[in-house]
Amino acid sequence: MVIRITVISSLLLTLGVMVFTILIPSGVPEIVEAGEKPLVILNNDLPTLSSQAVKIFDQATGQVLFAKNAEEVLPIASITKLFTAYSVLKTLPLTAEYEVTESDVAAYGRAGRLASGQVYSVRELLFPLLLESSNDAAAVYERETNDEVVRNAQELLEGLGVKDTTLVDASGLSPRNLSTASDIALASSLIYVDEPHLFDITRLKSQGGRYVSWANNDPVIGPDFKGGKHGYTDAAGRTIVAFFEEEVEGTSKNIGYVLLGSADLAEDIKKAREFIKESVRLQ
């Protein structure tokens, strides 16, 4: 069973309004909020960003404010971990305990600083996964579930309506973890409503664990940051999905930013946010 939602979306550089329909599974919260005023772009002084693909949107309505190569299929790096975390919350017993093995810590990188023999609950592993982008934590989930956590993530995303996303591992290390800026925008908006706890984790500056503490290494974290996930691999470049609370004519708007293939995430996000502040107003 699906819920049919009609979303009105102002497309960048078009004159008119396009109405389209999204089908999402029943039980997934709608992203359209009653009474939300659409935003309008005052000028076409678009930012020059290093990112290969970009999508900026109003999370509450789905309205697109800026798009560049948003349908291009690209590697997404550790944005994958946000989808892995969603799969964990939806499909795994959160109080179950997993023991870290040598094969887990053999995963590329030392983020999370897990060690063989340590024991964590399924829920606890979300903190190194999301705060420090731990490939070791992702490896634990994969091994303990025989890759079921990845297959479940793929199915969940397809249920949210994505069409061009492929996940082959839980970490995003593989260049075959692919998506589009549009798919990530849609999925992250729905996950933001459905499982806000995940984004709450990504806003933490740090979190103490049984053996070590984990610090947030997101390059764009700040007072207005409402959560998200970034990543990097040689194949993907720098990637991010991030939400920020932006003030538009005295009204707070939750604006989402998806950047893929960036050479400088912090600078690209800065320019994108400046564009929204200077060029976007209420209709």
Average pLDDT (2-14) is 33
Per-residue DSSP letter, 108: S
One-letter amino acid at 196 equals P
Query: Nearest to residue 179, comparing CAs of 57, 74, 84?
Result: 74
Average pLDDT (235-255) is 96
For 96-135, b where at least 16 C-beta lie within 10 A, e where not — what string?
Answer: eebebbeebbebeeebbbbeeebebebbbbbbbbbbbbbb
Average pLDDT (54-58) is 96
E strand or H helix that includes residue 74:
strand 74-75
Per-residue DSSP letter, 205: S
How confident is residue 19, by pLDDT bands cut at 50, 70 and 90? very low
Cα–Cα distance list, 264 to 175, 205, 261, 267, 268 (Å): 19, 21, 9, 6, 6
E strand or H helix that includes residue 143:
helix 135-145
Instruction: Share the mean pLDDT of the chain.
Output: 88
Average pLDDT (54-80) is 96
How confident is residue 249, by pLDDT bands cut at 50, 70 and 90? confident
Whether the predicted pLDDT of 4 surpasses 70: no
Q: Picking from 14-28, 69-83, 141-155, 229-243, which range would have the lowest pLDDT averaged per residue?
A: 14-28
pLDDT at 27: 35
Q: CATH says 35-282 is which class?
A: alpha beta
pLDDT at 260: 98
For residues 72 and 272, the answer to whether their CB atoms sit within 8 Å is no
For residues 171 and 138, the answer to whether their CB atoms sit within 8 Å is yes
Domain ranges in the chain are: 35-282
- Distance, CA of 162 to CA of 153 (rounded, Å): 12
- Give the percent of the chain with pLDDT over 90: 80
Give the strand pairing for 225-233 and 178-179.
Answer: unpaired
